[in-house]
Amino acid sequence: MLLIDHFAYNNRFTQVHPGEKALFFVLTMSVCLFLPSLSTSLAVTLLMAGVVVLLAGIPWKFYGKLLLVPGSFLIIGLVAVAVSVTREPCQFLWGTYLGDYAVGITKAGLDTAVNLFFRSLGAVSCLYFLSLTTPMTEMVGLLRKLRVPALVVELITLIYRLIFILLEMAGQIYTAQSSRLGYRSMRTGFTALSQLILSMFIKSYRQSQNMYDSLVARCYDGQLHFIEDKRNWSLCHVLVIVAVEAVLAAWALYAGGIM
């Protein structure tokens, strides 16, 4: 079991109705996406970090490492947003000329990149809240109650499980290669990485076939069944969620963010 799954089953919100967590996730994500501003994105990110770490009891080191993963990709991707290439005269904060073209960073491009970065980070923190506090089985049950087509639910479940198989397989191969000094230098590292990618897909394919065979052996008929614990909605929790979202939306409107 990966740590994300472990914490999804072992956190202080395990007895909370999944619908309440989904409601908090949807409302906060909506405020982050439809009332965008730098301060709103920062507020959403800090709110979710506080809820996940302080209330749900997820270790802050683990949560910080999770945020670093999309954060590093976002920084790389936002370089393309911040950097402008033009042949027209332009006011650059920093720039240089490459032949007839001017390459540099404008104030408008930098502002757009910063806003996009924190907006994306806020949305990711909302997704992490749901992933770290709600097990997949409860999310599937919730989707079925919302009348999501059975085919879509089955695809989500199988893809989620196959992603975990892929990650688990990559971790095992990486550990085996590291124990044999496969990454002691850049040259051996590239060789080991290519072998890891090749072996990972072959082994994960075989593992997925084994998973399908085990499902068929248990009379799999195209629909997965889970045992769900019955939980009741808490009026107190709903009122707290509505109050928090109202304050967040009011702050977003005050800050000037609207789509």
- Read off the pTM: 0.78
Which one-letter amino acid corresponds to residue 29? M
Bridge partners (DSSP) listed for residue 85: 103
pLDDT score of 90 = 66
pLDDT surpassing 90 at residue 239: yes
Please state which of the ranges 51-55, 72-76, 153-157, 248-252 shows the lowest mean pLDDT: 72-76
Residue type, 172: Q
SS3 per-residue string spanning 36-68: CCHHHHHHHHHHHHHHHHHHCCCCHHHHHHHHH
Instruction: State the Cα–Cα distance between residues 135 and 247, nearest whole angstrom.
Output: 28
Question: In whole angstroms, what is the distance from residue 44 CA to residue 26 CA?
Answer: 12
Q: What is the pLDDT of residues 10-31, one digit of tens each?
A: 889 888 888 999 999 999 999 8
In the numeric block, which tokens belong to residue 161?
């499980």
Count Cα neighbours of 190 within 13 Å in the Cβ-side half-sphere: 2
Do 208 and 165 touch, CB atoms closer than 8 A? Answer: yes
> For residue 215, is pLDDT > 90?
no
